Structure formats: C-alpha cells, structure tokens
Chain A
C-alpha cells in the first residue's frame, strides 16, 4: 500500500508530464516510495505500476536497471565506501577494514540489529576528497579512522 503522502508526491511528479504519459513518473515514484519505506518490495513495485497504469514488469525493469533502487531490505544506515581508483590509492582498503572490524560484519552484510549495511561502491565523483564514503544522503570525505568513528557514533 502506498501512503497518501507518497501518492501526493507522485501526483506532483505526474503533473510534470503530458497527461497520457503517466508512466514517465516511474523513476520519481520509485524514489519517493523508497524514501518512505526504505526499500522497494515486489508488492510495492506492483502498487506503483498499478498507480501509473503500466505493467508491473515495466516498473521492475526500471527498478532493476538503476543500482540506487533498493530491492532488498537493508540496514537503517547504508554505509557505502568508494573503493575505486582514487580512493583506493588514498587508502580505502583501510576504511573498509576499519568499518568491518568496528561493526563485526563483512562488505555486503547487515548488522544483526538491522542498523547498518556496509557496501563497496564505485567512484562517487568525490575523488578530490578521497578516501570517501556515503552514508544515507551524506558524503563524508578525507576519512581517517577517527573521523569514521566520529561519524558512526553520530548515527542513531
């Protein structure tokens, strides 16, 4: 079930396109619902498709095409460490191993309490501040062991 708040936001997006092209709002709709629910379940994608009057597989194609749509439940905080070339040269391996140690999980895993998910990602375009990571919507650059601890301590 999509909440009325989400539907209101989706309607706004639909309004950006010609009336007979409701489906154009599919990316925005997926994002809006993901922001609210944390991830996109099969049922949720079907609901979005139904609302936009497209076949569910059509919405699913979009949801699976972009890696930023979450199709599985994740921890409350998604910690995404860049391990691409610039960050790697500036010590991203150490960043990953420090977080792994601190949280007691490996890359790709979620902590048992459902708080954190740790992932490796490719270049996020912030090479100037390497090594860097993204947590939720925030970028954290020039990471050190201390700053990482401080950032993680700051997350509820």
Chain B
C-alpha cells in the first residue's frame, strides 16, 4: 500500500499501479491516447503528462508507478502546459476533416482538443499526408488522421495474437499499416476500430451512414457464438447502423468478434422479406398475414389428415432465441409430433437418451484465462468462439499447456504443446489413448469399450504425456469439444471419453456449440425432451431429413445449407408436400417452401439467450422489423392459436421465458459416460481408394444471417472455404494445384478445383460445409476422386 496525494486529495493505493490507474479509480480524468487498460503501456503519445512534486519535468501518468508519499497534480500550470503542448504537436499534422470523419462526435482527439487545445493553430506550414492502404472489407483506413498511438499494433500483437499492423518508418515519416498493404485476417479486427482514438480506423460497413450523435443505442446480446457477448446496437431511423461491444468483464470484456460486430449488415441489407408469401400452382404471391397463416394452418392440417402428425417435423436454427425455440417445439408437440431438433450438424445421436445439461463451457468464461492445462478435441476455438479463444490464449501466455486432438491443423494464435492431427476416423482412438493413460495413472480400470478403441500399439508416449499434463492441471484443467467433435460420426464416443477424462482429472468438461444451442436445448427443441409415456421420442435432425417427411416447419434454417446432410435435406424439402419457412430473408426457402413467413431478425425481437456459462441473458428489440415482418414468437403464438393448440396465450416473450423456467426440471437421469451406448465402436478401419472428409464450416457461413452479411463473406477467413487437400496427398494422387477433379459422394458428383492446404491430414479431403460444394458429401464421411 502507498499513500499518495492526488490534486490535494489523500489516497491509499495499491503498489505497482500506474498513476493513471489510480487517478481513474479516484475519478480524476487524465487525458490519454495510447494508454488502454487492456493493452501494454507504450507511453508514446505523451498526452497524460502530469506534475509530480520533486520530478524535474512532467511525467507520463500511464507509465509512472505510484510510490509512497508521491504528490501529483494533474491540473497545475505545469501539467496543463505540458498537456497543451502535446496537443499542439499532435494537431500539427492532423487533418481538419472532422466534418467528413466517421469518428467525429465520439473522437477522443476532438474532445481533448476542445479541453486541452488552443483555439487556433500556430502552425502554418504544410501538413503531412499519408496514403491509406486497403486492409480488407471490415476496417476502413484514413491514415493521415493517425496519431501513432500504436493501440492497433499492440492489440494485434498482444490480444489477437497475430501482429498484422505495424509502424513503418520513423519520426514524422512513421506510418501505420499492414505488411505491404496485406489484408487483415484476424477474427477480432473490428476491435481496432473501437481502440483507435481518432478516425484513422473506422468501420467499413458502417462508413458514412450516420453521425454518432444521431444514433440511438440499445443493449442486446450477440447470437452467433455461445458466449452471448453483450452488444450495443446503434440505430438511426429504425435501421441498424452499427454494432459495438458493451463492456461486460465476465463475458466479452470490452471486445467483440468480427462475426458479431458485422453480421448486422444482413439485417439492414436488401434481402429482407417484407410480406408473407404463399406459393400456389408454382407461383409466389404476397398475401396478408391472415391469409398466409390460414394457408399454413390448412397445409399442416392437410398433411396431418393424410399422413398423421408424425409426418411433420420442425428444424430450428441454433441462432433462434430461447422463446422461439420453445414455442416452436411446443407447437409441434401440440400437433402430436415429436420431431423437433436444432442440431442440424450433428450426425451421431447415440447418447440422446442420456439426460444431459445444455452444452456449455463447464466453468466460468473468465476462469478460462487461468487454466493450467487444456485438451481441445476437434475445437478450432479461435475461429469458432473467438473471445473464448482470446481467453485461452491469455492462459497460454501465462504458462498453460494445450493439447489438440483434431482432424485439421487449425492455425491457433497460441502455441500447442501437443498437436495430434490425424484423419477424423482416428480421433476416437487418439482420445481413447489419453483416457486410458489417465486411467492407468489413476489406477482405474479401463472399461471394455474404451479398450476396444485402442489398437495393438496400445497407448502412445504422447498420450501418456497429455494425461500427465491434465493430471497436473487438475481442477485448473479444461477439456473442450468443438465443432469437429460435435459433427463427428462418432460424436457420442468422443463426448464420453472426454467426459470421463475430465472426471478422472478434475478438469472442467466443455462442449462449445454454436449460437444459442444451449438455449434451444433448455427450451426442449430436441426429439427426446422430458420423455414420458405421453411425450415419446421423435426423430432427430438427421432422421428428419433422411426419412423425407411430408411436412416441415423451418424456423430460421435453410436445411440445404445448414444440415450436415445438405443434399438429403435439399431433396427432403423439395419432395415434401408442405413446407413452412419462417425466416427474415426473401431468398430463403424459395425453391421448396409453400409459405414463407417473414420473421424479425436478431436485433428486431425481444428474447433470451443461454450462454456457455448457463447464464440467461434477455434483451429487447432495437428496431422494428421491416415491412410486415413480425417477431418469431408472435408468429408461432398466432399460428398455434389458429391450430387450436392450448397454452399459447402469451402476451410477451417474458411470459414465455417464465414458462420455460417453471418447466425446467434440470438434469436428473443418467449422465455421461454410459459405455453401453458406444459398445459397438470398433477401432479405425482404413478404407482404400476413398478419401475421408474433414468437417469444417466457415465461421461466416453458420446461419442465414451470416451468409448474407456481405462484408464478412469477402474476408480472407471466408475465402479459405475451398475444397482442399494436403500437398503430399495431391502429389501422391497426381493432382496439380487448382486442377478440377470429379468428386463423388452420397450427395452426387461434382467437378471442382482442388487447392493445397497444409492443415488437412493425409488421406483426407476438406470440403467446406454450408456451401454448394458441401452438397456432394451428403452426410457421409467418404468420397472418391476421379481424375480425368
């Protein structure tokens, strides 16, 4: 503890703090540009100069540690003079283009120039001009405005983990930019816009569309990953202009992923459906809500009369709100069907009968920062859950060790101690080895089904080391499963092994699923929810598209892209007698739906998300839905009323939430692991002649909204979604780069160019899902190649 005097006020403060931190805590504002509480101190802008008694000249508050007895004046003549001097120098080369600058009105430089600047300039010479590189579709640059605070540089280096921006040159020739004008790749690049204290880095998608003081700000929750990042949705005349992060230390701190920041483009874009549409004799016609709902209800009744209620199924988007998912499943169950699911990209449902809690991290989000050991199973945490990736990266920088068992060599922004990359079919074996190694070390018997997964070589040395790492980590360990595990043909096996490992080692067990999957699970959008005599099991997402039902209710999904079985889903939709599509976009479902009901997008409806910490976060709509579009929960409520289903008298989404909470029985029944369920698993069989496909989905193609967010679509991250193989494999098969080959799978045959990608293991091919190319897979794990 140290005793200091700040502007005459006596303060008792912690040692090792910088003056600026102490002043901030005491509510004394010191001007600053380069200092940011989440970044390292660089002390290069000199705006924070203050007077410290005894020091020969003013000292930078951001880089001066407090010492006992220090007397600091932040507004004395000496301090003011130093601050004004700095300001005058900063403004020498800064352009006077505030009227056309997007930062105008929320610009620290502008504000501080008013408080600390002179009313006119003594500088009459020529100003510096710097060219502005194009660094990609998300961040606009105007580098003449840059004041070289290096916040953007430090963000890349310290947090995003890839140093993409840098300061070239020296003195007044310094210029901030990327290497030779390359585009930015980081999944967190939008944060540099928030950090930049001037208008040098601004949001490209929002550019020139509003002045900051005209905007209304609404709190909301991000829908695309399992964090539920807190948002500020900013609107002008009922249009979303931009999305910013809203600080929440527990969840997203002050950051936001590019995905959550820029997906609003689809919502404000022009592919929005304005009126309900029905198809009669093959022609689309806009109708009013009453007409459309009657048409929908009649269609459902016709199907039920002819083929029974069990011939109807509902597929629900994992980005839906909890309320929407709840009402959707309630409606389907009210009709007498139990076919309802939101897990369109899962193919192994063997563990469905276990009563599992909603997917989650298994520990608090913030605590991921301080784990000592982590085992990632099929998880590209960096791209799938960018802000959790950031937390794990911090842990690694603090000395944590990470092992990854996956089918793609993900480009993590932290180092891996063990990287066990192999074909997908080898993953269960690799994980079983770790499980067996842990069991061996703990002196626990290895169950028969686990034993069976091992081959004659037994446990590898590396598996032993991973086990040792996890045992050492103990409760500070984390086991995390990602998309590569959840979409795996043996997902249940992976889950059980991982769960068992976490039980034996004391590590947390995390399943990181997309969007609001946890909320949808809590809402019962599962075929086996609270099963009983009166509530038998229905079909899961995979069975629903395979069995070609007569009627489908699609809530926010485009099964031909969202389902793992893209081609089967496409066929099922086309063949069905009656398809209702409830979604915000005009182009969704045109090919096969019979009625399309325009629903509100995520900023337009009230609702709730359940995040990976199992925290319920409710939000209000920020804008009215466009045209005749209506919030999803209202559409479902009216539809259920028209179908004479009981229990749909909600007058607000809060009432729906109350009902969900009241009905939640928690998890009671059997839990993971249940070895019986995977008893049949065999060790890997290598199939000659066929290539194994590796499941991956671009972070920007996860749902209908993202697929329509134009700027995200043209980022480098999204460009990677091409069919690819490792170069040794291509050489072995005699395929040159970019050569078109015929790929055949269950989903058909296509001719596609192949590029090389070092991330893909031998014997495998990477075909991105949720794309047209992905159709060829048809949900199978194998394809064959023909080279003509």
Chain A partners chain B: yes
Seen from chain A, the residues whose Cβ lies within 8 Å of a Cβ on chain B are 42, 46, 55-58, 60-61, 64-66
15 intermolecular pairs with C-beta atoms under 8 Å apart: A42-B180, A46-B179, A55-B164, A55-B179, A56-B179, A57-B164, A57-B166, A57-B178, A57-B179, A58-B163, A60-B166, A60-B179, A61-B166, A64-B168, A65-B168
Are B168's CB and A60's CB within 8 A?
A: yes
Known: A56-B179, A60-B179, A64-B168. 8 other contacts (CB 8 A): A55-B164, A55-B179, A57-B164, A57-B166, A58-B166, A60-B166, A60-B168, A66-B170
Are A55's CB and B168's CB within 8 A?
A: no
**Complex Cα distance A73/B311, Å?**
73
Q: What is the interface residue range for chain B against chain A?
A: 10 to 19
For B179, the chain A residues whose CB sits under 8 A away are: 42, 46, 55-57, 60
**Complex Cα distance A60/B165, Å?**
11
Instruction: Report which residue of B163, B165, B166 has the largest number of chain A beta carbons within 10 angstroms of its beta carbon.
Output: B166
Pairs of residues from A and B, 9 with the lowest C-beta to C-beta distance, nearest first:
A57-B166, A64-B168, A55-B163, A57-B179, A56-B179, A61-B166, A42-B180, A65-B170, A64-B169
**Complex Cα distance A60/B178, Å?**
10
For B168, the chain A residues whose CB sits under 8 A away are: 57, 60-61, 64-65
The chain A residue with its CB closest to the CB of B162 is A55
**Complex Cα distance A64/B162, Å?**
20
Seen from chain B, the residues whose Cβ lies within 8 Å of a Cβ on chain A are 162-170, 178-180
**Complex Cα distance A57/B182, Å?**
10
Are A64's CB and B163's CB within 8 A?
A: no
**Complex Cα distance A32/B588, Å?**
59
**Complex Cα distance A64/B179, Å?**
11
Main secondary structure of the interface of B (DSSP, over half): mixed
Are A61's CB and B164's CB within 8 A?
A: no
Main secondary structure of the interface of A (DSSP, over half): helix
Are B167's CB and A61's CB within 8 A?
A: yes
Least distance between B203 CB and chain A CB atoms (Å): 22
For B166, the chain A residues whose CB sits under 8 A away are: 55, 57-58, 60-61
Are A57's CB and B163's CB within 8 A?
A: yes
Least distance between B166 CB and chain A CB atoms (Å): 4
**Complex Cα distance A144/B224, Å?**
74
Least distance between B685 CB and chain A CB atoms (Å): 39
**Complex Cα distance A55/B169, Å?**
17
Are A57's CB and B165's CB within 8 A?
A: yes
**Complex Cα distance A46/B180, Å?**
10
Least distance between B396 CB and chain A CB atoms (Å): 15
For B180, the chain A residues whose CB sits under 8 A away are: 42, 56, 60
Least distance between A117 CB and chain B CB atoms (Å): 20
**Complex Cα distance A65/B169, Å?**
5
For A60, the chain B residues whose CB sits under 8 A away are: 166, 168, 179-180
For A61, the chain B residues whose CB sits under 8 A away are: 166-168
Least distance between A59 CB and chain B CB atoms (Å): 9
Least distance between A91 CB and chain B CB atoms (Å): 29
**Complex Cα distance A42/B168, Å?**
13
**Complex Cα distance A66/B169, Å?**
8
**Complex Cα distance A58/B166, Å?**
7
For A46, the chain B residues whose CB sits under 8 A away are: 179
**Complex Cα distance A60/B168, Å?**
7
For A65, the chain B residues whose CB sits under 8 A away are: 168-170
**Complex Cα distance A42/B182, Å?**
12
Least distance between B341 CB and chain A CB atoms (Å): 44
**Complex Cα distance A121/B168, Å?**
21
For A42, the chain B residues whose CB sits under 8 A away are: 179-180
For B164, the chain A residues whose CB sits under 8 A away are: 55, 57
Contact of A64 among B165, B170, B178 (CB under 8 A): B170
**Complex Cα distance A56/B165, Å?**
10
**Complex Cα distance A65/B167, Å?**
9
For B169, the chain A residues whose CB sits under 8 A away are: 64-65
The chain B residue with its CB closest to the CB of A61 is B166
